[in-house]
Amino acid sequence: MVYNETVFLLLDKKSPASTIIALDAATGKVRWEKKRPETEFGHMTPVLAEVDGKKQLLVTATHSLQGIDPENGEILWFCK
C-alpha cells in the first residue's frame, strides 16, 4: 500500500518474526520498522482510513484489528 510517498509492507509470519515496514517509495530506504511479536501468519494489505480526522493504517493481528499511525508505526488502538 502506498501513502505519502511511503510503501507499507505487512510481513506477518510465525511469531516473533512478524513486522510492518514503511519504505521510502523513491529510494527504498526503511523509514520505520515495527516488530509484531504477538501476530501470527496472515494475508492482508494494510488499509488506509481516516478515524477522528487522522489517517490510520488498519491491519489485522492474531484475532484482532489494529489502528496504526502511518507516520511512525505506533499502535493507536486494537480490538478483538
The pLDDT value given to residue 61: 75
Counted domains in the chain:
1
Running DSSP on this structure, what letter comes out for residue 63? T
What pLDDT score was predicted for residue 25?
Answer: 96
CATH of the domain at 12: 2.40.10.480
DSSP string computed for 1-49: -EETTEEEEEE--STT--EEEEEETTT--EEEEEE-TT--------EEE
Q: Looking at residue 36, what is its pLDDT?
A: 76
Residue 57, domain extent: 2-79
For the chain, 80 residues long, the average pLDDT of each consecutive 10-residue run is 91 74 96 81 82 91 85 90
Compute the distance between CA of residue 39 and CA of residue 72 in angstroms, rounded to an integer: 19
The model scores a pTM over 0.85: no
Burial class (CB in 10 A: 0-12, 13-18, 19+), 77: exposed
